Amino acid sequence: MKELEERIRRDGIIKDGGVLKVDAFLNHQCDVELFDAMGAEWAQRFKGVPVNKILTIEASGIGIACVAARHFGNVPVVFAKKAQSINLDGEQYATSIYSFTKQREFPVIVGKRFLGPNDHVLILDDFLANGKALEGLLEICELAGAQVQGIGIAIEKAFQGGGDRLRARGYRVESLARVGSMDAGAGTIEFLPA
Amino acid sequence: MKELEERIRRDGIIKDGGVLKVDAFLNHQCDVELFDAMGAEWAQRFKGVPVNKILTIEASGIGIACVAARHFGNVPVVFAKKAQSINLDGEQYATSIYSFTKQREFPVIVGKRFLGPNDHVLILDDFLANGKALEGLLEICELAGAQVQGIGIAIEKAFQGGGDRLRARGYRVESLARVGSMDAGAGTIEFLPA
């Protein structure tokens, strides 16, 4: 998606260690007009795919998913919650996700009332790097018996391999911008076809 | 806002201790069509008020704010982040908010690049109870020199007094549903004019 790639080039900040900061428009300050265009693009790519629920994870995925939902007939958006601890009261699907940024596991939950075998789920998120967060969401869908119809990502850091691992497992992953390489020193970024 | 009150009566769950669970449509599963109607209602109430930025706080406020922004000319949405610790690197406005739910203080930050003296801010959030979260957001606006034009709330638990305290300080608070009283045993809820 040209518009997103241009925005990353203009307002993204490349840092050492493969870090791409896009907090000016994606995950701290939110450009809702861009989110709307992203939603339209995903809707076009997933045209004809039955989707009755969008699943994302707090916090950065929520705004993107809620704006994009309009392009999927206003289906409900469910966001997985990062919990302090897993309270196995039987009312929640739970898993834990390893965060490389925070260097620790954190529990993630979804209320059982909000995901089940009748759901055809589109998973949306802002970033796909090593894929740990998505693997957690996929596990929750599996626990719920929900069918994952596809995965829509704003920015895939393709050089970290998570996207290709998910594609190899048979999932359809539609990333709107795929970063092939970045150079913090030179301030350059190369995109792969997306 | 009748639509929201009816939805609370239908899908809200009243619990002991003044707890109102609305995770079926507001803050875990999100009814984006309702969010859109809420955005239209706030836009009507704040008609003529200059707003060039919407400020909210993660996680539940984000979806509401991003959908509502469309009714305010697609202004940028900034969400305050709950941080593990306050890193006073000079790049962030920081405060701490006491959570009665979690019974502890947690630090909240907003990047200095995203809020400043030229900003006319509408603060949006899902709940207003004792008002601690909003006081934190107001403090961040003060640190930034931004002008708070108003506060839009989905559900105000008026019996907890936070809304009236903010009104007494001169802020315009527009709550779409104002709960006057709830009874967990009887399962009843009374709304005040909103």
Predicted local distance difference test score (pLDDT) of residue B194: 87
CA–CA dist A31, A27 (Å, integer): 9
8 Å CB contact between A58 and B58: yes
Minimal-distance CA residue of chain B relative to A67: B67
Closest CA to B65 of B26, B104, B95: B26
Q: Which of A29, A58, A76 sits opposite B76 (nearest CB)?
A: A29
- Contacting residues of A for B63, CB less than 8 Å apart: 62-63, 65-66, 77, 79
Task: Please tell me whether A52 is known to bind a ligand.
Answer: no
Task: Please tell me whether A130 is known to bind a ligand.
Answer: yes
A85 touches chain B (CB under 8 A): no
B13 touches chain A (CB under 8 A): no
A84 touches chain B (CB under 8 A): yes
Residues 6+ apart with CB under 8 A from A78: A53, A54, A55, A56, A110, A114, A115, B28, B29, B30
Predicted local distance difference test score (pLDDT) of residue A53: 98
Predicted local distance difference test score (pLDDT) of residue A52: 98
Residue B103 has pLDDT above 70, yes or no: yes
Beta bridge partners of residue B21, listed in sequence order = B13
| Residue A60 vs residues A30, A41, A190, B54, B100: alpha-carbon distances, Å | 9, 19, 24, 16, 24
Predicted local distance difference test score (pLDDT) of residue A99: 85
Q: Which domains occur in chain B, in start order?
A: 2-192 (3.40.50.2020)
Mean model confidence pLDDT for chain B:
95
Averaged pLDDT, B168-186: 97
Predicted local distance difference test score (pLDDT) of residue A194: 87
- Contacting residues of B for A110, CB less than 8 Å apart: 28
Q: Exposed, middle or buried: residue A52 (CB in 10 Å: 0-12, 13-18, 19+)?
A: middle
CB contact under 8 A, A111 and B33: no
Residue B167 has pLDDT above 90, yes or no: yes
pLDDT in tens, B62-94: 999 999 999 999 999 999 999 877 666 679 999
Q: Which of A23, A33, A66 sits opposite B63 (nearest CB)?
A: A66
Averaged pLDDT, B148-154: 98
Q: What phi and psi, each to the nearest 5 degrees, are found at residue B22?
A: -130, 35
Counting one residue from chain A and one from chain B, the pairs whose CB atoms sit within 8 A come to: 103
CA–CA dist A179, A169 (Å, integer): 21
| pLDDT tens across the length of chain A (194 residues) | 999 999 999 999 999 999 999 999 999 999 999 999 999 999 999 999 999 999 999 999 999 999 999 999 999 999 999 987 766 667 999 999 998 877 889 999 999 999 999 999 999 999 999 999 999 999 999 999 999 999 999 999 999 999 999 999 999 999 999 999 999 999 999 999 98
